[in-house]
Structure 1
Amino acid sequence: MRVLIAGSSGFIGSALTTELRGAGHEVRTLVRRQPGNVGGDTEYAWDPPRGALSSEALDGVDAVVNLCGAPLTGRWSEARKQQLRDSRIVPTEVLAEAVAEHGVPSLINASAVGYYGDTGDTLVDESAGAGSGFLAELCADWEQATRQAQRAGARVVRLRTGIVLGSDGGLLRVLKPLFSLALGGRLGAGEQYMPWISLTDQIAAIRYAVEHAEVSGPANLSAPNPVTNAEFTRALGRAVHRPAPWVVPSFALRMALSEAADEMALVSQRAVPAALRSAGFSFTHTELDAALVDELAGSRG
């Protein structure tokens, strides 16, 4: 297959590019600089704010994978919120229009489990509706930005991703040094559920969505067994062979992160991957302890 990827330089995008090329697919990437010659004529320039995208990039493409989006970390000022929206919705609208115009069969588009808002200890699959709050509204609008491709008849997959665990990026890159020094601890009461997925399964699931037409619509990219923050804390402590005795109080998180604390660090989302399992996808890591050991060791399955 010929696959075009936007957001290929990030933590997930770079691993996906390597995976797809290793599987024999032709991979093209969109870059916001002068295209280079590395790997042949595979890079194409684009400028989402201007709506600029070379038509040659879409020639003969079987699937577009869009992973664009600024990191959600840090305090959410009004300016930062607008940046988070623009970095997701604008590129998605540009790509959805291009997919529709060029008759590309599939658009695999990033989203997040933040779509559901705070669900407490209730299990939620893809049939659940959107929650409330900035992040839930952002995810809903992000997914809605794919509508032009869907109206044109393209298969649209909306990847509602949980916390991706990999040694080279994401949450583990931040937490591993702290936990290795026995400075790790739970966040608040630790009762909030964390929908996690190993990088190995994240990449395998996106590849599966590219290759299998039976995957369509929203798909939770999270392991079948979400855990609470307290359980996650203990498991990461075991993985690095250190105690994790500390507690970061909820009020301290709110002072540091403002509303991002309640929508990121303290939110509870017990999301499960019903759509992927129904489509026949098998997880390598269904239990957190094994996932942490493999990913921290740099294993890709």
Structure 2
Amino acid sequence: MRILMAGASGFLGTLLTERLSASGHDVVRLVRRPAKGPGEATWQPRQGQVDPALLVAADAVINLAGAGVGDKRWTAHYKSLIRSSRVDTAGTIAHAIRKLPAEDRPAVLLQGSAVGWYGDTGDRQVTEEAPAGSGFLSDVCRVWEAAARPAEDAGVRVALLRTGLPLDQHGGLLKPQMPLFRLGAGAKLGGGKQWVPWISLTDWLDAVEFLLERDDLAGPVNLVGPDPATNAEFTKTLAKVLHRPALLQVPGIALQIALGGFADEALRSQRVLPGVLERAGFTWTHPTLESALRAAVGEQTPAAA
């Protein structure tokens, strides 16, 4: 399969490119700088420009592009960048697909999104049927997904990858926490009762490949593990896996000082379930938090007695 990918240089995009290439797919990465070889192609999403010939040649398109949500403090400028970097890329691809003759369109668009769609769900379990919540990230997800709608309107299968928190010590949620936990300074955030929508990195990659191949699956798909945990449970389990204590607590006010506007998002509760994947028969390699965390830090899960 020939796959055109945006956002291939990010944490997940880099790993997904490696996985798909290893599986025998031909991946062409969209880049904003001059292309360096046949595996890259230049585009300008801020100007809404992508070469239609790239889409004609593609069997599938994957768009994971977007500025990092937790990378910087949420100034007004950076919040604008978080939004525009997603809407511009999704809109450029979707509008270009819609303009193509039907026979030239790629068969599928896997469009990045996030469980941020649901906002704070408290203790309430939600699946893909739940409406959008409130808050900045919910608003971003709403316009992000809407930007891909022209491709869907053109008859292309569009799957919206509502990604949770992939677990890997080299990126995402775990990367900034690992040094503290290894020092025995791990801590739960706020009261620790908020739900964490985790997924192992292996399962995230498997799920994306699963969605590429399943031509009967479209619309929103929650890429999360089947057993969400509270932040307190997450903290306790990570400490157990690393054989370190985790007795501290980071008060909400401290997070506000350290993270600014992102603190509210860090403390929200999201009890998100993978309804579509479960109904489709997807099999998780790491169905429990402990097995996912052991895989993330390179430790084996103890054998059952």
1:95 aligned residue (90, 93, 102) = 93
So what's the TM-score if we normalise by structure 1? 0.95
Q: Report the AA paired with residue 14 of structure 2.
A: S
Structure 2 counterpart of 1:22: 22
Q: Contact 1:30 / 1:43 at 8 angstroms: preserved in 2? A: yes
Residue in structure 1 matched with residue 192 of structure 2 by the alignment: 190
In the aligned structure 1, how far is the partner of 2:52 from the partner of 2:135? 37
The residue aligned with 2:65 is 68
Give the residue type in structure 2 aligned to 1:45: T
In structure 1, C-alpha distance between the alignment counterparts of 2:111 and 2:117, rounded to whole Å: 14
- Please, which of 40, 55, 67 is the counterpart of residue 58 of structure 1? 55
The Cα shift of 1:84 comes to 0.5
Task: For 1:148-227, list aligned pairs within 5 A.
Answer: 148-227=150-229
Evaluate the alpha carbon distance shift between residue 298 and residue 106 of structure 1 in structure 2; reply closer, same or farther with a 3 A threshold: farther
Q: Residues 96 and 146 of structure 1 are in contact (CA less than 8 Å); yes or no, is this contact kept in structure 2?
A: yes
Q: Deviations over 1:91-128 (max 9, x none)?
A: 00001112223322211001010100000011100000
**1:137 aligned onto 2:134:** no
Deviations 1:23-72 (A, max 9, x none): 111111101111112xxx22100111112212232233111000001111
Match of 1:11 in 2: 11
Deviation, structure 1 residue 255: 2.3
Which residue pairs with 2:128 in the alignment? 126
Write the letter of the residue equivalent to 1:290.
S
Between the aligned partners of 2:54 and 2:39, the Cα distance in structure 1 is: 9
What's 2:303 paired with?
A: none
Q: Please give the secondary structure, in 2, of the residue aligned with 1:174.
A: coil
CA contact (8 A) 1:167 1:298 kept: no
Q: Distance in 2 between matches of 1:260 and 1:42?
A: 36
- SS in structure 2 at match of 1:53: coil
Query: What SS does the corresponding residue of 2:97 show, helix, strand or coil?
Result: helix
Q: Which segments of 5 or more consecutive residues in structure 1 lack a partner in the other structure?
A: none
Please list every run of 5 or more consecutive structure 2 residues that lacks an aligned counterpart in the other structure.
301-305
Measured in 2, the distance between the counterparts of 1:32 and 1:240 equals 40
Q: In 2, distance between residues paired with 1:194 and 1:251?
A: 20
Once residues 138 and 231 of structure 1 are traced to their aligned partners in structure 2, the CA distance between those partners, rounded to angstroms, is 29
* Partner deviation per Cα, 1:143-170 (whole Å, 9 max, x = no partner): 0001110110011111111111012211
Q: Report the identity percentage.
A: 46
Displacement of 1:250 after TM fit?
Answer: 0.9
1:79 offset after TM fit, Å? 1.0
Aligned to 1:32: 32
RMSD of the alignment, in Å? 1.3
Match of 2:296 in 1: 295
AA at the equivalent of 1:170: G
Distance, in Å, in 1 between the alignment partners of 2:211 and 2:259 is 34
Aligned equivalents of 2:182, 2:258: Cα separation in 1: 23
- SS in structure 1 at match of 2:68: coil
- Secondary structure, in 3 states, of the residue corresponding to 2:174? helix
TM-score, length basis structure 2? 0.94
1:242 aligns with 2:244: yes
Do the aligned partners of 1:149 and 1:156 also contact (CA within 8 Å) in 2?
yes
> Distance between the aligned counterparts of 1:28 and 1:59, measured in 2?
13
Q: What is the number of residues matched between the two proteins? A: 295
- Between the aligned partners of 1:244 and 1:108, the Cα distance in structure 2 is 38
